[in-house]
Amino acid sequence: MRGRSPALTLTLEGLQALLAELRRQGYSLLGPSLVQGDFGHREIRGVADLPRGVGMEQEAGTFRLVFREDAELFGYPVGQPSWKPVFFPPSRLVWQAVRSAGGWEISLPREDLPPVALLGVRPCDLAAMEVLDRVFLRGPYVERSYQARREAAFIVAVNCTRPGGTCFCASLGTGPRAREGFDLALTEMVTGEGHWFLVETGSDAGRALLETVPHRQATAAEVEAASRALAAAAGRMGRHLEMVGLKEHLYENYEHRHWAEVAGRCLTCGNCAMVCPTCFCHHLEDSLNLRGDRASRRRVQDVCFTVAHSYIHGGSVRPTPWSRYRQWLTHKLATWQEQFGCLGCVGCGRCITWCPVGIDLTAEVAALRRGETPPAKRE
């Protein structure tokens, strides 16, 4: 059962107690960490493993870690990795078969996965999980592996008070505050009163866990301070995407010359799709050993920017870079709505940051609306 309860306050020591209790209950705890300059989601033991005082500078085609003197544990926007691989691994065994004298015996991988707790899930990534839920859980066929992984997850979200230069979640209503899809949601505050977290519960499991650790009712001043911080974050988004009439505009400009102009810069490397938290393109690989007695099938992550991805008998239906970029952007912002009833974009900005030539989805959409070509990225 979901539903918000009155806001509570958790100290830094309380957060450590909460993480310890998750581990005591048998959860594998995944959270943000920094190892030899590499920011990622890894198994952690507690607060000491979190990236204290770490920030990020992001612009089109640019990413840089910055180190501050403050004590914030979540003082950064989203990094390159999303949480998608936890639920939709880039490579997964679908089935395997062994041949004996009696014939072929097919076996499926076990799905009784250990429970996992995710710490630091941003609101845009929560929205991405909701998108993937629509794709894999609410259609005519349920993806059982995805379902098992989602059901085994406990989610501790963290609201964003430091958006990045390529973030535009406020344009899409997917941030900077988490609205749903979490068990617990934290807003980190470092003020004159100390280092504390405003906590909201979003599930019975979240409420039950919080009852096991020290906490207290939040004061009106604390709630107001957190609200101000989130409102300020919404006003500091590095990008904006105008959504009014966008789907219809993309349909009306399917043959616009701007698609070819973007393709003149696009390397068709697929970085944008690889880092996207909602892209789920994949292909199947079948293999047979040399003796012919063992076979397997794997599902492997793919991107729509390759010629092979749209290959059918006789050739590819999207042989040019412009047709592949058009497919990706139009699907994200228009046809995805026809398929799944929502956008395929959550405004995280990863596709902008990790494009090696700095192609900016928001700028390309604005240029299509104006019928112009945006200026090339300046070094």
Helix ranges restricted to H, the chain:
12-24, 84-87, 123-136, 144-151, 169-172, 204-210, 220-234, 246-252, 258-263, 271-275, 321-330, 336-340, 350-353, 361-370
Same domain, 185 and 308: no
SS3 at position 372: coil
The rounded distance, in Å, linking the Cα atoms of 39 and 43 is 13
Q: Which of 316, 347, 9 is nearest to 193 (CA)?
A: 9
SS3 at position 187: strand
pTM of the model: 0.91
Residue 71 located in a structural domain: yes
Question: Buried (b) or exposed (e) across 316-331, using 16+ Cβ within 10 A?
Answer: eebeebbbbbbbbbbb
Same domain, 335 and 252: yes
Same domain, 230 and 317: no
Residue 35 located in a structural domain: yes
Query: Which region, left, alpha or beta, applies to residue 69 given φ > 0 means left and ψ of -120 to 50 means alpha?
Result: alpha
Residue 240 located in a structural domain: no
The rounded distance, in Å, linking the Cα atoms of 257 and 200 is 48
* CA end-to-end distance (rounded Å), the chain: 51
Q: What pLDDT, on the 0 to 100 scale, is given for residue 314? A: 85
Same domain, 193 and 53: yes
Question: Buried (b) or exposed (e) across 15-54, using 16+ Cβ within 10 A?
Answer: bbbbbbebeeeebebbbbbbeeeebebeebebbebbbbeb
Residues in the chain: 379
Same domain, 220 and 278: no
287 bridge partner residues? 296
Q: What pLDDT, on the 0 to 100 scale, is given for residue 3? A: 41
C-beta separation of 270 from 310 below 8 A: no
C-beta separation of 118 from 185 below 8 A: no
Note down the domain range covering 341: 246-282+302-370
Same domain, 271 and 327: yes
Cα 236 off chain centre by: 20
Residue 204 located in a structural domain: yes
The token pair at 311 is 């290959």
What single-letter DSSP state applies at residue 326? H
Same domain, 80 and 118: yes
Residue 84 located in a structural domain: yes
Domain end marker among 234, 262, 294: 234
Contacts of 38 by beta carbon, 8 Å cutoff, 6+ apart:
none
Same domain, 128 and 40: yes
In the chain, pLDDT over 70 holds for what percent of residues? 96
CA distances to 29, 92, 235, 264 from 110, in Å: 21, 12, 46, 46
Same domain, 60 and 182: yes
Number of structural domains found in the chain = 2
Strand runs (DSSP E) across 49-142, as ranges?
A: 54-59, 62-67, 91-100, 103-107, 116-121
Q: From first to last of its 379 residues, what are the pLDDT tens digits of the chain?
A: 344 556 899 999 999 999 999 999 999 999 999 988 889 999 999 999 999 999 999 999 999 999 998 999 999 999 999 999 999 999 999 999 999 988 999 999 887 788 999 999 999 999 999 999 999 999 889 999 999 999 999 999 999 999 999 999 999 999 999 999 999 999 999 988 789 999 999 999 999 999 999 999 999 999 999 999 999 999 999 999 999 999 999 999 999 999 999 989 999 999 999 999 999 999 999 999 999 999 999 999 999 999 889 888 888 889 999 999 999 999 999 999 999 999 999 999 999 999 999 999 999 999 998 875 555 444 4
C-beta separation of 333 from 342 below 8 A: no
CA distances to 253, 331, 371, 372, 375 from 256, in Å: 5, 16, 8, 10, 17
Same domain, 230 and 257: no
Same domain, 206 and 320: no
Residue 289 located in a structural domain: no
Q: What pLDDT, on the 0 to 100 scale, is given for residue 7? A: 84
Q: What pLDDT, on the 0 to 100 scale, is given for residue 5? A: 58
The rounded distance, in Å, linking the Cα atoms of 186 and 161 is 11
Same domain, 41 and 130: yes
Residue 49 located in a structural domain: yes
The rounded distance, in Å, linking the Cα atoms of 111 and 114 is 9
Contacts of 191 by beta carbon, 8 Å cutoff, 6+ apart:
225
The token pair at 252 is 């009306």
Residue 131 located in a structural domain: yes
The rounded distance, in Å, linking the Cα atoms of 185 and 2 is 13
